[in-house]
Amino acid sequence: MKTIFRCICLSFFTVLLISCEQNTVDLKQFIPPAGKYDVKILRDSYGVPHIYGKTDADVAYGLAYAHCEDDFDTIQEGVFLARGLLASINGLEAAPFDYLVKLFRFREIVEEKYETDLAPETRKICEAYAEGYNHYAVLHPEKVIPGVLPTDGKDVVMGFVAKSPLFFGMDHHLKELLSKKPKHSVSQKAVAMGRQFHSEDLPIGSNTFAIAPRRTPDGKTHLAINSHQPWTGPVAWYEARLKSNEGLDIIGGVFPGTPVVLHGHNRDLGWAHTVNMPDLVDVYALEMNPENLNQYKFDGHWRDLERDNMIIWIRLWKGFSIPLRREVAYSVHGPVIRSPHGVYAIRYAGYGDIRQVEQWYRMGKSTTVDEFEQAMRIQAIPSFNVGYADKTGNIWYIYNAKFPVRAEGYDWEEYLPGNTSETLWTEYLPFEKVPQVRNPESGFVQNCNSSPFRTTIGPNNPKPEDFSKTLGIEPMDHMTNRSLRLLELLGADDSITEEEFYTYKYDIAYSKDFLVSDYGKKLLEMPAGNDQVIAEAQEVLKKWDYTTTLENTSAAIVILSMEPIVRAKMFGHKEPDLFETFKEKAHLLKNLYGKVDVPWGQVNRLVRGTVNVGLCGGPDTLHAVYGNWKKDHLEGMAGDCYVLMATWDQAGKVHSRSIHQFGSATLDETSPHYADQVPMFIACETKPVWLDESDLRQHLESEYRPGEPRSLPSSN
């Protein structure tokens, strides 16, 4: 009780101190002096910000201000996440994120390396972005959570560093280690098993494909940039156009808190990312000294753990948090976790590297394939496939990953013995050794979260035998429906027009080689008995044509029955029984709608404010839609979101079209751009991208500088 009382008292006085500081500090000091940044924000008729600045730093400053206008709360929350203080505003459920940030000492690493590892120009854009955020926050103090101001460039870099390991499953590993029972055995030196995948292990998504001039009738080059993300939150896409007098000239997607385009295109080239699943995390079982539990054995000697303490602030109610203290320890391998079933250390690829923002910045400033390759060789972005195309007709697929060079003979998916330096890797596979396909004879490349060994058709695919199983690369049978469909569609068309380029992107069918075909056959063999609803559902299933149009009356029972099983496989959960799920969903439809053959668009919905409309597409179709069940329908929450389709003509001039699932006003329900792109999105249509200012001014909604009210475009 005394400890709890002390924590409450400490929390009370800390909150009081922060509140007093916030109230006494002149917030206007955080607004940059007049003239420091020369930038203007031009909003097009869809509300998309086009940021024009003299320098790249000017543009980063303007981007932060514009994005805050549309999504300030999410960006602000990202600052707390990066600082390891998310639980102080979101409560106990956010504590694991704070634990991750503090366990891996991300702040200390950024503090140590910020001045030495990042180029001056990279630091400038990060600091400018932070100042743009501060400027908006000062002008809207009612939105600001006490203690957040001021932010700085290190906060921006921390956002990249803290989120990076989440994309390759660090949270999953931590959850396993903190469970009551071990999930793996300790691998002994033997024949290496490698990573075990199955064709059913399907990630939720992203698509990219590039088509070279040799496969188009008019010498054009095409690139589809089509990441599948959650539709809201810290990794939801926001479209921005960035232009400076220092060579920055790009359109693409950013996340809340990022000062650079993460994928998009400039005048000369473009790239897209899809999530890949390399094995980048290793867990070591430490052999502890029974006489001193703060010592572990390594190469025959006892070593002392490095020990420290962390404090996680937990919000109890508004304005009131209590501190939770935890020990942290470190071995030669990395951070240490004392689990109910042992003591473990964690090591992951790229730990300690803070240059993710710099690599993306260099990628966006590249003008040739050689410059882009030099940016990729930084290898600070530890995962994500890359699909690339440029104005000279180059196309390129890269299985981008920062692969540890591991000792053969161990199963690296199991826990590793931590008592030997043989399992302690210190080097990475060089860039030229990762799987990649450049300008193949087929004239196209694609990846939709599938095996790199089936990137295209013909002889130019990487060969599995050329890569160690210790890398954990997805094998040849690891194929999503989306990749199977692209291989079918692109592979059968040796003269792909620009119209077909768009048509293939919005394909809403399932391949008959995909697992839904086998599931369907099993369900039709299921005895209906006296259950007339099952008999009706089987008749509906027989009529399915493998598509997901709005009018399709078989898609609902198929997808509702199979998606829970695919999702369980995807995340390693226990799979529900196929037949029981089919029975449950058939009765659900019958009870809700009075029939099983319900049009798919009646079940699959996009809901945004007062907008509630039907959606075609479905889980793992090229036009992907993933939904959560809400009483009587699926409500879309992820999948196709920001789509950018770029084309270079034979002369090397680029044009593109894009679409967002909602609109540019992420959080402002009163904005006309809160849901203005929805009608086009559900119709599988796109809007023009205006790269030239002269074209933009024909479609201009407002023009202003940060801190000024939005004004109507002048008549001049």
Q: What is the pLDDT of residues 269-291, one digit of tens each?
A: 999 999 999 999 999 999 999 99
Digit-coded pLDDT (tens) for 628-650: 999 999 999 999 999 999 999 99
What is the distance between the alpha carbons of residues 130 and 144, in angstroms, rounded to a whole number? 14
Q: Evaluate the omega torsion of the peptide bond into residue 417 and state whether it is cis, within 30 degrees of 0.
A: no
Phi-psi region of 300 (alpha: psi -120 to 50; beta: other; left: phi over 0): left
Q: Are strands 444-447 and 249-254 parallel, antiparallel or unpaired?
A: unpaired
Domain boundary assignment for the chain: 207-275+355-400+427-505, 515-692
Q: Report pTM.
A: 0.93
Instruction: Look at the alpha carbons of 197, 198, 199, 204 in this order and tell me if their dihedral is positive or negative.
Output: negative
pLDDT of 600 strictly over 50: yes
What CATH number should be reported for the domain whose range is 207-275+355-400+427-505?
Answer: 3.60.20.10
**Strand-pair category, 269-274 with 604-608:** unpaired
Q: Is the pLDDT of residue 13 over 90?
A: no
In the block, tokens 């990042």 appear at 118
Model confidence at 24, pLDDT cuts 50, 70, 90, reads low
* CATH annotation of 515-692: 1.10.1400
pLDDT band at 209 (very low <50, low <70, confident <90, very high): very high
Across the range 75-103, mean pLDDT stands at 92
- Helices 106-117 and 95-103, axial angle in degrees (round to 10): 50
pLDDT of residue 713: 64
Assess contact for 268 and 368: CB atoms under 8 A: yes
- Report the alpha-carbon distance of residue 146 to residue 591 in Å, rounded: 50
Least confident of 180-189, 239-248, 438-447, 681-690: 180-189
For 488, the token pair is: 């079918």
